[in-house]
Structure 1
Amino acid sequence: MSYFSLEAEQSVLGSILLAPDLIYESLLMPDAFYHEGHRVIFENMLSLREENKKIDVVSITSRMGQALQDVGGMSYLVDLSKSVPSISDFSSHERIVKEKYLMRTGLIAVKEVYSGGHEDPVEFAAELMSIAEKIGDQSRDREGFSHIKDGLMNHFELLNDKKYNGQALGVSTVGTELDRITGKWQKQTLNIVAARPSMGKTAFLLNNAVRNGKEGLTVAIFSLEQPEMQLYDRMIAAECYIDGERIRTGQLRDDEWETYTLGLSVLTEMNVFIDDRPGLSVQEIRAAVRKLKKRHPDLIVYIDYLQLIKGGKKFSNRNDEVGYISSSLKQMARENDCPVISLAQLSRGVEQRQDKRPMMSDLRESGNIEQDADTISFLYRDDYYNRDTEKKNIIEIIVAKNREGSVGTAEMMNLKQYGKFKDFDYRLQ
């Protein structure tokens, strides 16, 4: 396999000599050229472009002087322009130059990682995946425009659906009021749900995941804190309205066994995938999601929880690492066209205030979480802190940031013995 194409490089340079305006369409940098002489010629073409001067054989010869003689002199420039069969091939030849350049830089980067003496295989794999992601991003076609006609027709279809469905499109959350405030979980968004311990983060995640599964979506759950079987305990307790303690101990009453069996039949029909490996890196999560997305396009991703994810490489401080992780999760949502919901831990600063309802500043090791997240919600139970509260068995879901919608607080019934959240207008059967 060749890691350069002199013919493609010659064609790019020759095409610009024949049609100088092509230099304004080119996004190549001089380093993309393998041949040193070609690199120098292109550098001078760029300089002439910046100075708004004409790009032709004479101006380049005058500018390069002796350096051109090392390449082959004016006759080489003339030969370049004569060697181009058609300038219509400029884009395809430019793409070949770019692809060869990415292959060379990728190979160099891999060699550097290999010679770096990594002793941790996870860190080594993370570095390789990071290189692959960068090359993949850079190799995409540069065309990013869409015609307004196409965009507005899509807008019409979305607005029409909203009118007749009565709500914004998106993936439903566990609560009607929460749907109204957030506009539901939208594709390509990163949604952070944060709380102090014992507020019900994991229960909230599982309630949402089961609802999405029942609606026919494929659900991916990354549980970095709890093993798979503990999640099943919680899912079954919430689905069957069986006390979670009896599920955990196996002490089901005779009448609960039938309910348990019926609940299993419902849950097993859902397309839910759970990965409970501890200490996953963000690169491993992205790779797993990409693989699952290929088999199941209609996907939603849940992560428990953000601060347990590893960055996969060295960082100067933990804030930088968490910022890198949140940015990677946002990229994952966009590249897989799916919502990503990640739980997050709050700092102990909450406990020091009289009003213990969380605020943005309470996000632990926040890094760029505020910037990257499309929505940030906090879970709060007043009955956890205040025995005499009027809000017993109520969970407050405080939407503090919503890039595309409103903010506010949704309240739901919190049936703690089942780990179940319910709208107020629901009644147990």
Structure 2
Amino acid sequence: MDATGDSQGQGEIEMSYYSIETEQALLGSILIEPDLIYESVLNPEHFYQEEHRLIYENMLQMKGKQEKIEVVSLVARMGAAVQDIGGVQYLVNLSSTFPMVEQFAKHEQIVKEKFLMRTGMTSIKQLYNDMPDNPRELAAELMSLSESIGDEVRTEGGFRHIKDGLMDHFDQLERKKEHGLASGAKTVGKALDKLTGRWKKQTLNIIAARPSVGKTAFMLNNATEAGKDGMTVAIFSLEQPEVQLLDRMIAAECRIDGENVRDAKLTDDEWSKYTMGLSSLAELEIYIDDKPGRTIQEIRAAVRKLKKKHPELIVFIDYLQLIHGGKKFAGGRNEEVGYISNSLKQMARENDCPVIALAQLSRGVEQRQDKRPMMSDLRESGNIEQDADTITFLYRDDYYNQETEKKNIIECIVAKNREGSVGTAEMANLRQYGKFLDLEVRH
């Protein structure tokens, strides 16, 4: 094919990413029925042609000042700039030649979709020019791009009549009642359940503590409890390999000393417990991904895939600050962690499931007389506090004070609860087993 043919082919490809006629019809409809500007969800940047961006921007300014949008008033507002769009005659032509008012919503959708196509192509070209150093980073960038465009498309749902929502609510209540999931996913403790109202679908729940307090053991106890309650459990372990998690889960389930499990030094009685515990755990729908260095895009993709097969899903992540953002962040690590926490919240929403993420606390805790954690102790907090629906801190007084009266007791301090109360729930912490129990049943 000669150069002319190539040029024509390129032009055909470019044309698929904008529609001048649709933009003209949309602007002409507003000139015919000015109140349509109050229904419009577009921004000037959504228009491909610069002249149309300028016209629409002036229309929005008139909307903000409660001015009626018509050709004469629009010309007066634009002043000399009207010549940049082809003069007064161009506006007259828009209002007389192109208007199809009844198609306004459809035209808006086309303009928005063309904009998303152009944005995607621009991002792909930029990605090509700034090619990452490795295929994993490239995959993360592509998934991030896909998710950002997908999020834009999903925001176009619009209104629903309350009757439809109420019917869905009734169906969900019946289904939850039938399956025993009326209040969300159970936590490992009744007192914590009562305080938090359980872990509800579409929520991001943060469990935070200093190292060695028991975050991972607490997570595994809750994961096992969710599995026993009939849920499918996804565990992303970015810090520890699967075998270490299984050691802990078996010790807690079988009430066997964790060191004996790890070192394979089991008594005859413990072997019996071990065999029974293994059978019990094997029946649960628990899936473990222990690959280190996971990107948030990889996690979202894996959860989306699992959700298709298992509707009643709950996700645990150990831990948030070990997740990679998958791309470069001009604002440094705080911006990256903020992006990750926001992505986890979106993941909970789009998959209609609870997400529980562990988080590390800063060393600032150690420098205070009262070592109980506070919101400001969240390391590289970014938007964690804003995105989370619940934030629970784990605190052991016997970790810091050998003379404490609260030996083998862990405090679950609910510092944020978007839909319920804040306060503290205490649980027994049988550390040799890595087991957490309600205080009244610890014996």
Alignment TM-score > 0.5, same fold: yes
Cα offset for 1:290? 2.2
Cα offset for 1:58? 4.9
Q: Distance in 2 between matches of 1:48 and 1:193?
A: 49
After superposition, the Cα gap between the structure-2 partners of 1:278 and 1:322, relative to the gap in structure 1 and judged at 3 Å, is same
Matched, 1:330 2:349: no
**Where does structure 1 lack aligned partners over 5 or more consecutive residues?**
none
Partner residue in 2 for 1:302: 316
Partner residue in 1 for 2:381: 366
After superposition, the Cα gap between the structure-2 partners of 1:366 and 1:140, relative to the gap in structure 1 and judged at 3 Å, is closer
Cα offset for 1:346? 1.7
Q: What SS does structure 1 have at the residue aligned with 2:439? A: coil
After superposition, the Cα gap between the structure-2 partners of 1:310 and 1:406, relative to the gap in structure 1 and judged at 3 Å, is same
Matched, 1:385 2:400: yes
Q: What SS does structure 1 have at the residue aligned with 2:35? A: helix
After superposition, the Cα gap between the structure-2 partners of 1:399 and 1:29, relative to the gap in structure 1 and judged at 3 Å, is closer
Q: Distance in 2 between matches of 1:344 and 1:53?
A: 51
Matched, 1:28 2:74: no
Equivalent AA in structure 1 for residue 48 of structure 2 = Y
Cα offset for 1:208? 0.3
Partner residue in 2 for 1:97: 111
Aligned partners of 1:195 and 1:346 also within 8 Å: yes
Q: Is the deviation greater in 311-320 or in 72-81?
A: 72-81
Tell me the C-alpha RMSD between the 2 structures.
3.1
Equivalent AA in structure 2 for residue 198 of structure 1 = S
1:226 to 219, 240, 251: 240
Cα offset for 1:243? 1.8
Q: Distance in 2 between matches of 1:368 and 1:409?
A: 23
2:253 to 214, 228, 239: 239
Partner residue in 1 for 2:5: none
Matched, 1:286 2:286: no
Question: Where do residues 391-402 of structure 1 align in structure 2 (5 Å cutoff)?
Answer: 391-402=406-417
Cα offset for 1:274? 1.2
Equivalent AA in structure 2 for residue 140 of structure 1 = R
Cα offset for 1:216? 1.3
Aligned partners of 2:314 and 2:354 also within 8 Å: yes
Q: What SS does structure 1 have at the residue aligned with 2:154? A: coil
After superposition, the Cα gap between the structure-2 partners of 1:413 and 1:47, relative to the gap in structure 1 and judged at 3 Å, is closer
Question: Where do residues 72-221 of structure 1 align in structure 2 (5 Å cutoff)?
Answer: 74=89, 77-78=92-93, 81-84=96-99, 86-148=100-162, 169-221=183-235
Q: Distance in 2 between matches of 1:370 and 1:79?
A: 49
Residues matched between the structures, number = 427
- What is the CA deviation profile of residues 373-392 of structure 1, one whole-angstrom value per residue up to 9, with x for unaligned ones? 22111212223333333322
Q: Distance in 1 between matches of 2:392 and 2:93?
A: 64
After superposition, the Cα gap between the structure-2 partners of 1:354 and 1:164, relative to the gap in structure 1 and judged at 3 Å, is farther
Q: Distance in 2 between matches of 1:54 and 1:360?
A: 49
Partner residue in 2 for 1:421: 436
Q: Distance in 1 between matches of 2:81 and 2:366?
A: 73
After superposition, the Cα gap between the structure-2 partners of 1:118 and 1:389, relative to the gap in structure 1 and judged at 3 Å, is same
1:314 to 307, 329, 332: 329
Cα offset for 1:150? 5.2
Aligned partners of 2:51 and 2:84 also within 8 Å: no
Equivalent AA in structure 2 for residue 392 of structure 1 = K
Cα offset for 1:96? 0.8
- What is the CA deviation profile of residues 399-425 of structure 1, one whole-angstrom value per residue up to 9, with x for unaligned ones? 222222112222222221211111233
Q: Distance in 2 between matches of 1:406 and 1:385?
A: 27
After superposition, the Cα gap between the structure-2 partners of 1:361 and 1:39, relative to the gap in structure 1 and judged at 3 Å, is closer
- What is the CA deviation profile of residues 220-258 of structure 1, one whole-angstrom value per residue up to 9, with x for unaligned ones? 111010001111111111112222112112222334333
Q: What SS does structure 2 have at the residue aligned with 1:139? A: helix
Aligned partners of 2:27 and 2:94 also within 8 Å: no
Q: Distance in 1 between matches of 2:85 and 2:401?
A: 82
Cα offset for 1:173? 0.0
Equivalent AA in structure 2 for residue 369 of structure 1 = I
Q: Distance in 2 between matches of 1:323 and 1:40?
A: 35
Q: Is the deviation greater in 277-286 or in 382-391?
A: 382-391
After superposition, the Cα gap between the structure-2 partners of 1:201 and 1:230, relative to the gap in structure 1 and judged at 3 Å, is same
Aligned partners of 1:222 and 1:302 also within 8 Å: yes
Aligned partners of 1:398 and 1:410 also within 8 Å: yes
After superposition, the Cα gap between the structure-2 partners of 1:64 and 1:362, relative to the gap in structure 1 and judged at 3 Å, is closer
Aligned partners of 2:428 and 2:442 also within 8 Å: no
**Sequence identity of aligned pairs in percent?**
66
Aligned partners of 1:161 and 1:169 also within 8 Å: no
Cα offset for 1:136? 1.8
Q: What SS does structure 2 have at the residue aligned with 1:396? A: strand
Matched, 1:357 2:336: no
Aligned partners of 2:75 and 2:82 also within 8 Å: no
Q: Distance in 1 between matches of 2:202 and 2:437?
A: 27
**Where does structure 2 lack aligned partners over 5 or more consecutive residues?**
1-12
TM-score w.r.t. structure 2 length?
Answer: 0.85
